[in-house]
């Protein structure tokens, strides 16, 4: 049976991967291409539908991201979102202009439920708006099918041509019935059967990896976190003993984590892997001494990592491939995901510098969100306690210690974090929260302990609820739990006299502190 494909054309908005993800949730396979991709190439893939994403430009400005008019004449359903909607109108002769009132955030919208796009959607619903331009006049053949107080054309359709435009963002969860709208498009309007499943991802990837690797040797960067563990098990299933997993203890791991990782993946553990542990703590601390600028720290940790691998690779002999557990949010936020802006550089993303002697890099999870990675993990039979482990950044505590990293500060944050995690688990909150940790602020303040004046650090506690790690809300941890954590940290961890709770959401904050 022919494989069904929906293509998402990326115009550079921050939510673009979410679009792909929602399509995959409808059990339809989906790939993302830059708007610069040749139309002939897109046609060759025989997509069942095309979605144009949001983006930061104004379509009427010179040099703005655009698409050829033929895109709308291929007899393939097209859905334009936000910038994509405006572009559809602009290219087909409608008018897009700067709106008198910029709309941002949750907005009430009235939809015309006779449109197939809004089948089973409530006539009054809530959507997520984020735009400064608006559709001032629809192109010929279109009719308006949604409006808000400030936006007369919040959605439009040209049913005979199967062209649909939505000014708001159905891919964002704040658009309460957005998933239903996207389902209506891909399943009902594009007519996709929806028979794509995660197990096809696993099987197809194992096959693709085998073909790519051939008889080559593979080195895998194993951190013990969800992503690299899933990548390692996927690889070991694909190429067995051609794989060596190297675990670098960079001294920026959580308390006792190095030994825990070794217990699971090492010789006495659950998997048949060639496992090598490198204890490089001192090497990393030395490189980080005196450095406090976040991007510089990330860069140092990333480069040191590569160097350690290079050394290991030399010991192991010729290595053809390096595996990394990069996942999609890493890619987007590093600005490598096509068209979106750089927020912070993740050290474990990207090509290898020239001086590293590997032939190629393999990133089997590059297109997946965290919860999709977990599904793959379960599919691969990885134990649940590993699959549902909370994410931990590649640069580790390096991005949770603000300012200069020292062995002493590492110990403080490790101890505080261990207490916090213990109390969260005891309170039964560990499965509810998507990520929680202690960070060491660079702030020292005056306190009093016993009869003595202290001048010690403040620990910041963070706990967030999130679906995709692209947006997040601070969790409302019960006060008594916070008080217990505070009292234990202050009593048990030397060098700390204050505990703060971070209530910021993302955006504008990020989940990590650096
Ligand atoms: P931020 O702080 O960007 O984090 O909101 C989003 C998610 O990504 C994790 N994170 C990283 N993961 N390498 C990683 O593998 C990194 O450099 C990195 N920085 C942040 C973070 O823990 C959160 O889950």
| Euclidean distance between CA atoms 315 and 324, whole angstroms | 19
User: Which residue do the tokens 């299933």 mark?
Assistant: 237
Tell me if 302 CB under 6 Å of ligand 1: no
Ligand 1 probe mutation, 341, 512, 513, 514, most atoms within 8 A of CB: 512
Tell me if 325 CB under 6 Å of ligand 1: no
Residue 370 preceded by cis peptide, ω within 30: no
Other C-beta atoms within 10 Å of 252: how many?
A: 27
pLDDT at 353: 44
Contact 349, 305 (CB under 8 A): no
Contact 166, 181 (CB under 8 A): yes
| Euclidean distance between CA atoms 496 and 412, whole angstroms | 8
pLDDT at 336: 42
Q: Are strands 218-221 and 243-249 parallel, antiparallel or unpaired?
A: parallel
Predicted confidence pLDDT, tens digits, the chain (514 residues): 677 999 999 998 888 888 988 998 999 988 888 899 999 999 999 999 999 999 989 999 999 999 999 999 999 999 999 999 999 999 999 999 999 888 889 999 999 999 999 999 999 999 999 989 999 999 999 999 999 999 999 999 999 999 999 999 999 989 999 999 999 999 999 999 999 887 888 988 999 999 999 999 898 888 888 898 999 999 999 998 889 998 999 999 999 999 988 888 888 877 877 999 999 999 999 999 999 999 999 999 999 988 887 788 778 877 789 888 888 777 655 544 445 444 555 544 444 444 446 788 899 998 888 888 999 999 988 888 788 888 888 899 999 999 999 999 999 999 999 999 999 999 999 989 999 999 999 999 999 988 899 999 999 999 999 977 888 999 999 999 999 999 999 999 999 999 999 999 998 999 999 9
Q: Which residue, by CA, sits nearest to atom 12 of ligand 1? A: 393
| Euclidean distance between CA atoms 396 and 403, whole angstroms | 14
pLDDT digits (tens, 9 = 90+) for 205-229: 999 999 999 999 898 888 888 898 9
Contact 212, 146 (CB under 8 A): no
| Euclidean distance between CA atoms 375 and 402, whole angstroms | 33
Rounded distance from Cα 329 to ligand 1 centre (Å): 8
Rounded distance from Cα 295 to ligand 1 centre (Å): 13
Q: Which residue, by CA, sits nearest to atom 18 of ligand 1? A: 393
pLDDT digits (tens, 9 = 90+) for 309-355: 778 877 887 778 988 888 877 765 554 444 544 455 554 444 444 44
| Euclidean distance between CA atoms 201 and 125, whole angstroms | 34
Other C-beta atoms within 10 Å of 68: how many?
A: 10
| Euclidean distance between CA atoms 178 and 155, whole angstroms | 13
Helix H or strand E segment including 199: helix 198-213
Concerning whether 171 is annotated as a catalytic residue, the answer is: yes
Contact 251, 281 (CB under 8 A): yes
In DSSP notation, 214-260 reads: TT--EEEE--SSHHHHHHHHHHHHHHGGGEEEEEEE-S-SPTTHHHH
Rounded distance from Cα 249 to ligand 1 centre (Å): 18
Tell me if 346 CB under 6 Å of ligand 1: yes
Q: How far apart are the first and last CA of the chain?
A: 48
Tell me if 330 CB under 6 Å of ligand 1: yes
Helix H or strand E segment including 158: strand 155-158
pLDDT digits (tens, 9 = 90+) for 151-180: 999 999 999 999 999 999 999 989 999 999
Closest by CA position to 168, among listed 184, 183, 151: 151
| Euclidean distance between CA atoms 12 and 341, whole angstroms | 8
Helix axes 281-288, 407-426, angle to 10 degrees: 110
Concerning whether 347 is annotated as a catalytic residue, the answer is: no
DSSP 401: B
**In three state form, how does the secondary structure of 322-389 look?**
EECCCCHHHHHHCCCCCCCCCCCCCCCCCCCCCCCCCCEEECCCCCCCHHHHHHHHHHCCCCHHHHCC
pLDDT at 305: 87
**In three state form, how does the secondary structure of 6-49 look?**
EEEEECCCCCHHHHHHHHHHCCCEEEEEECCCCHHHHHHCCCCE
- The rounded Cα 19 to chain-centroid distance in angstroms is 13
| Euclidean distance between CA atoms 376 and 301, whole angstroms | 28
Rounded distance from Cα 56 to ligand 1 centre (Å): 24
Rounded distance from Cα 346 to ligand 1 centre (Å): 7
| Euclidean distance between CA atoms 389 and 378, whole angstroms | 12
Helix H or strand E segment including 466: none
Counting from 1 in the atom list of ligand 1, the atom nearest the Cα of 326 is 15
Within 8 A by CB and 6+ apart from 385, the residues are none
């Amino acid at each position: 049976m022919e494989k069904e494909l929906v293509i998402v054309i990326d115009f550079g908005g921050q939510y673009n991967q979410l679009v792909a993800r929602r399509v995959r949730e409808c059990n339809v396979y989906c790939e993302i291409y830059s708007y610069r991709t040749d139309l002939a190439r897109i046609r060759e893939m025989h997509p069942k539908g095309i979605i144009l994403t949001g983006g930061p430009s104004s379509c009427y400005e010179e040099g703005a991201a655009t698409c050829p008019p033929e895109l709308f004449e291929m007899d393939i359903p097209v859905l334009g979102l936000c910038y994509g909607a405006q572009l559809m109108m602009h290219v087909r002769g409608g008018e897009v202009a700067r709106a008198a009132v910029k709309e941002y955030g949750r907005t009430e919208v009235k939809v015309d439920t006779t449109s197939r796009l809004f089948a089973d959607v409530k006539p009054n619903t809530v959507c997520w708006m984020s735009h400064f331009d608006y559709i001032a006049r629809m192109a010929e053949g279109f009719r308006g099918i949604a409006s808000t107080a400030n936006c007369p054309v919040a959605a439009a359709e040209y049913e005979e041509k199967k062209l649909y435009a939505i000014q708001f963002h159905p891919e964002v969860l704040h658009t309460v019935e957005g998933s239903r709208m996207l389902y209506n498009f891909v399943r009902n309007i594009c007519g996709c059967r929806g028979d794509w499943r995660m197990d096809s991802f696993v099987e197809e990837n194992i096959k693709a990896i085998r073909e790519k690797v051939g008889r080559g040797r593979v080195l895998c960067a194993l951190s013990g976190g969800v992503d690299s563990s899933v990548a390692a098990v996927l690889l070991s299933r694909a190429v067995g003993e051609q794989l060596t997993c190297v675990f670098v203890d960079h001294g920026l791991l959580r308390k006792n984590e190095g030994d825990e990782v070794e217990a699971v993946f090492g010789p006495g553990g659950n998997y048949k892997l060639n496992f090598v542990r490198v204890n490089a703590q001192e090497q990393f601390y030395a490189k980080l001494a005196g450095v406090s600028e976040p991007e510089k720290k990330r860069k140092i940790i990333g480069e040191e990592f590569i160097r350690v691998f290079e050394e290991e690779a030399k010991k192991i002999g010729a290595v053809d491939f390096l595996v990394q557990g990069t996942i999609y949010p890493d890619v987007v936020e590093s600005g490598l995901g096509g068209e979106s802006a750089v927020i912070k550089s993740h050290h474990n993303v990207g090509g290898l510098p020239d001086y590293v002697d590997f032939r190629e890099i393999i990133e089997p999870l590059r297109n997946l969100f965290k919860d999709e990675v977990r599904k793959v993990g379960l599919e691969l039979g990885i134990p649940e306690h590993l699959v549902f482990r909370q994410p931990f950044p590649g640069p580790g505590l390096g991005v949770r210690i603000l300012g200069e990293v020292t062995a002493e500060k590492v110990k403080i944050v490790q101890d505080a974090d261990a207490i916090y995690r213990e109390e969260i688990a005891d309170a039964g909150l560990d499965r509810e929260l998507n990520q929680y940790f202690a960070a060491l602020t660079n702030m020292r303040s005056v306190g009093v302990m016993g009869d003595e004046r202290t001048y010690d650090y403040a620990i910041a506690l963070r706990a967030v609820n999130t679906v995709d790690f692209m947006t997040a809300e601070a969790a409302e941890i019960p006060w008594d739990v916070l008080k217990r954590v505070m009292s234990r940290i202050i009593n048990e961890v030397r060098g700390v006299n204050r505990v703060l709770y971070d209530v910021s959401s993302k955006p504008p904050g990020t989940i990590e502190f650096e």
